[in-house]
Amino acid sequence: MVDPIYRKTEAGQDEIRSRARKLDHKLRALLLMVNGERREQALLAQVAGMGIGAEAMATLLAQGLVEAVAEPVPPPAAAPQEPLRAAPPEPDANLFSVYAMRHAPVAEVPAPPQASSAAAHSPAEIQAYQRLYQFYTDVIGQHLGLRGYMLQVKVEKAADLPALMALREPLHAALLKARGDITARAIIAQLDQVSGGSTA
């Protein structure tokens, strides 16, 4: 792929939380910006001011912290249109890890054999978590950029739906400072719609 889209691997998610590899600040900043939505060139353009280049992405790839997202190949025009199906996620030792909640299709997350009711997440909770996580990540990337670095760290560390919902006010404050009252109010209104009005 000439300009691939990258996403964090489970190892990348763990690195955000644990800092086990002690990445330098440039590599960590780039890792935080990878969200499975933006292409490599767009990411590198966003962090170019920090002196981060393509070699940083190569390092993250080599360490297994990011991976390219497989992009579906459109069917030939003459072929009947069939719905594109996402590839199943890589096997995950803990299907209820934060990574699994973010990336696994809801239908493919079975209940763990000996999970207590407190540990299990319903399909509705997983869908709500995925929607909110994507919303926060998109808004931070599009409207805050590197100014949203610390907020993105909090999003990455949010292990459940209440933890994500608790970031509503910090997001509002950051948007108010960076984009002004009108934009901040509009985005928070969208957030409230995405979360189904369950935030205050």
Per-residue pLDDT of the chain (200 residues; tens, 9 = 90+): 577 888 888 888 888 778 788 888 778 878 887 888 878 888 788 777 778 888 888 898 898 988 888 776 566 655 555 555 555 555 444 444 555 555 555 544 444 444 444 446 678 888 888 889 889 988 988 888 888 889 988 988 888 888 989 999 999 999 999 989 999 999 999 998 888 744 44
Q: Where are the domains of the chain?
A: 6-68, 123-194
Structure tokens at 73: 């190949």
At residue 148's C-alpha, the angle toward residues 60 and 182, to 5°, is 145
Q: What is the pLDDT of residue 87?
A: 55
Annotate 114-169 with DSSP letters as a single string.
T--TTT---HHHHHHHHHHHHHHHHHIIIIIGGGGHHHHHHHHH--SHHHHHTTHH
Q: What is the pLDDT of residue 186?
A: 93
Q: How many other β-carbons are positioned within 10 Å of the β-carbon of residue 120?
A: 12
d(CA 188, CA 191): 5
Taking the alpha carbons of 194, 158, 134, 44 in that order, is the dihedral positive or negative? positive
Q: How many other β-carbons are positioned within 10 Å of the β-carbon of residue 15?
A: 24
Q: What is the pLDDT of residue 101?
A: 58
